[in-house]
């Protein structure tokens, strides 16, 4: 895709006197991003990377370079006395040239129509400046017609996007208020599923109860809208993390991407699943798609590091992980994979020192025990690894001690106890340990890859799935040759007779209305 057909929507400023309305300006920004993301052949940077620049005074050209776009949309929101003023401007980033601006003054109750109108007009202006793509009649579908429900949902999303347990708790309360007012609000069901999934994976709630709540809200969302990309992304996570169902995770991720190819989280997750099954070229392709639309998000950058790790490029992985840890020193996945890299690079003393510096409060005790065990095993220090191994074996007696199961497996593999490793695997698979989906094909388990029993379990853990064809279909021309010639003549005659180009407010859409042709057809014809 040409960089000229690419846009980043920066967070709209809340310029009203009430700072509490910041959630509203953030919400409008996100709705416009979502609306524009539905346009094929227009690259739209995701919310997570666009919001990286919130509150930062950085030159437009530098922002555009970091995001890989040619167009920047800036805007502001002012709310006062049940009225809303939304101002926007489009900027050609390389020249820092403002080529279009517009302001809307409307009643707040009309916010749903305004968002669609803004998205459509922005898309039209980009098309006029940079070339043809098709635009649907509507880009933003309202979540609800109830302003109170919408306002609460935006507040919930605002707190959810802060990604810490205290604010997630507030988001949960707000989403629950939404469902009290509107039980069929799909976005709030997905929001609650996402929130409880966060609490489960970070273990700020008991995993079993948190995943149960996430599953319940996911199923409710599915019942309300089985064709929602976010619902299938949640179902993919549930399949992977709670059912150890690799095939189910793949199926739902592919359905999510079929519904919304510009969904960065789903692109990341599909890449991750390919990594686990060893299909690295396919993993690279989906990772590149995710990086293209979400280049600055820390989760995307972690997946980039994890790809390097899985591809045995440990120095590159370590460099990227260090960058992640500068931004968030408590990034648990980055901490863990850094330990793995140091082990694979035989930097054992550095690994030992690094693990000692990790606060016990942020890492699962069995994870910490497991990593320490592997360090001593790699050091061939039997006096130290023996007591650690005994502790791991004791912890692994618990059916839901998934980290202990995983590290005990890796310990057996690196001690050359392959039969015990496979026996353990056979035993714990009945507990649906998703951690084993990560460990079995991990570089730390490379000593077992050539074992005669390895392919059997590989096929059981990562079964082949009939994939959905995500390639865009070959499109036919919007006009056949004969009709195109007729419209061309009609257009040229109209231009000669009526001279509409003298109107300074002439737009492609206005011209299309004048010559009685659909704007998509006129755009195709002109290009």
Q: Work out the percent of the chain whose per-residue pLDDT is above 90.
A: 62
Residue 91: its pLDDT value, please?
95
In the numeric block, which tokens belong to residue 38? 């539905």
Residue 477: its pLDDT value, please?
59
> Which residues, at least 6 apart from 245, have a Cβ–Cβ distance to it below 8 Å?
239, 432
* Confidence bin at 397 (pLDDT 50/70/90): very high
Q: What is the mean pLDDT of residues 395-403?
A: 88
Q: How many CA atoms lie within 13 A of 223 on its CB side?
A: 9
Q: CA-to-CA distance for 486 and 464, rounded, in angstroms?
A: 52
Residue 500: its pLDDT value, please?
76
Asked if residue 35 lies in contact with residue 116, where contact means CB atoms within 8 angstroms, the answer is: yes
Q: How many CA atoms lie within 13 A of 214 on its CB side?
A: 25
* Confidence bin at 258 (pLDDT 50/70/90): very high
Residue 469: its pLDDT value, please?
61
Residue among 276, 356, 472, 502 nearest 494 (CA): 502
Q: What mean pLDDT, rounded, does the chain reach?
A: 89
Q: CA-to-CA distance for 423 and 437, rounded, in angstroms?
A: 16
Asked if residue 231 lies in contact with residue 221, where contact means CB atoms within 8 angstroms, the answer is: yes
Compute φ and ψ for 60, nearest 5 degrees.
Answer: -55, -45
Q: For 166-213, how does the pLDDT look when each residue is reduced to its tens digit (9 = 90+)? A: 899 999 999 999 999 999 999 999 999 999 988 887 778 888 899 999
Q: How far, CA to CA in Å, does 258 sit from each of 186, 209, 252, 507? A: 19, 31, 10, 33
Q: What is the mean pLDDT of residues 442-459?
A: 97
Q: CA-to-CA distance for 53 and 136, rounded, in angstroms?
A: 29
Residue 527 has pLDDT above 80, yes or no: no
Residue 86: its pLDDT value, please?
94
Q: For 56-90, how does the pLDDT look when each residue is reduced to its tens digit (9 = 90+)? A: 999 999 999 999 999 999 999 999 888 999 999 99
| pTM score, whole prediction | 0.86
């Amino acid at each position: 895709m040409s960089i000229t057909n690419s846009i980043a929507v920066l967070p709209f400023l809340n310029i009203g006197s009430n700072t509490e309305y910041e959630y509203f300006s953030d919400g409008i920004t996100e709705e416009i991003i979502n609306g524009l993301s539905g346009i094929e052949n227009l690259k739209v940077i995701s919310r997570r990377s666009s919001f990286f620049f919130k509150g930062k005074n950085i030159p437009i050209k530098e922002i555009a370079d970091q995001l890989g776009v040619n167009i920047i949309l800036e805007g502001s929101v002012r709310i006062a006395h049940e009225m809303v003023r939304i101002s926007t401007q489009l900027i050609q980033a390389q020249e820092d040239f403002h080529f279009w601006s517009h302001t809307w003054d409307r009643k707040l109750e009309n916010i749903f129509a305004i968002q669609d109108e803004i998205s459509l007009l922005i898309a039209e202006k980009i098309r006029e400046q940079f070339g043809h793509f098709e635009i649907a009649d509507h880009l933003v579908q309202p979540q609800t017609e109830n302003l109170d429900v919408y306002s609460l949902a935006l507040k919930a999303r605002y707190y959810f996007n802060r990604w810490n347990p205290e604010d997630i708790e507030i988001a949960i309360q707000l989403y629950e208020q939404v469902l009290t007012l509107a039980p069929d609000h799909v976005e709030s069901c997905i929001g609650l599923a996402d929130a409880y999934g966060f609490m489960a994976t970070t273990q700020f709630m008991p995993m079993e109860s948190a995943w149960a709540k996430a599953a319940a809200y996911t199923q409710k969302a599915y019942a309300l809208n089985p064709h929602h990309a976010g619902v299938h992304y949640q179902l993919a996570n549930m399949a992977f993390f709670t059912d150890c169902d690799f095939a189910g995770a793949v199926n739902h991720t592919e359905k999510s991407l079929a519904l919304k190819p510009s969904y960065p989280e789903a692109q990341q997750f599909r890449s991750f699943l390919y990594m686990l099954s060893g299909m690295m070229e396919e993993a690279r392709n989906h990772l590149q798609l995710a990086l293209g639309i979400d280049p600055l998000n820390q989760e995307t950058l972690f997946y980039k590091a994890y790809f390097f790790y899985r591809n045995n490029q440990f120095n590159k992985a370590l460099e990227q992980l260090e960058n992640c840890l500068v931004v968030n020193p408590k990034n648990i996945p980055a901490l863990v994979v850094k330990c793995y890299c140091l082990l694979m690079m035989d930097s054992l003393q550095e690994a030992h020192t690094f693990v000692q510096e990790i606060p016990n409060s942020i890492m699962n005790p069995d994870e910490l025990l497991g990593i320490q065990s592997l360090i001593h095993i790699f050091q061939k220090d039997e006096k130290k690894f023996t007591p650690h191994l005994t502790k791991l074996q004791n912890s692994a007696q618990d059916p839901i001690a998934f980290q202990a199961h995983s590290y005990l497996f890796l310990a057996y593999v690196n001690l050359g106890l392959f039969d015990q490793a496979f026996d353990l695997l056979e035993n714990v698979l009945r507990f649906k340990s998703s951690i084993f989906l990560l460990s079995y094909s991990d570089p730390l388990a490379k000593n077992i890859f050539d074992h005669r029993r390895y392919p059997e379990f590989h096929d059981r853990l990562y079964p082949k799935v009939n994939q959905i064809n995500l390639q865009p279909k070959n499109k036919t021309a919007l006009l056949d040759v004969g009709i195109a010639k007729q419209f061309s003549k009609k257009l040229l005659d109209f231009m000669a007779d009526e001279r509409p180009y003298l109107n300074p407010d002439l737009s492609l859409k206005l011209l299309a209305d004048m010559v009685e042709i659909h704007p998509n057809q006129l755009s195709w014809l002109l290009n």
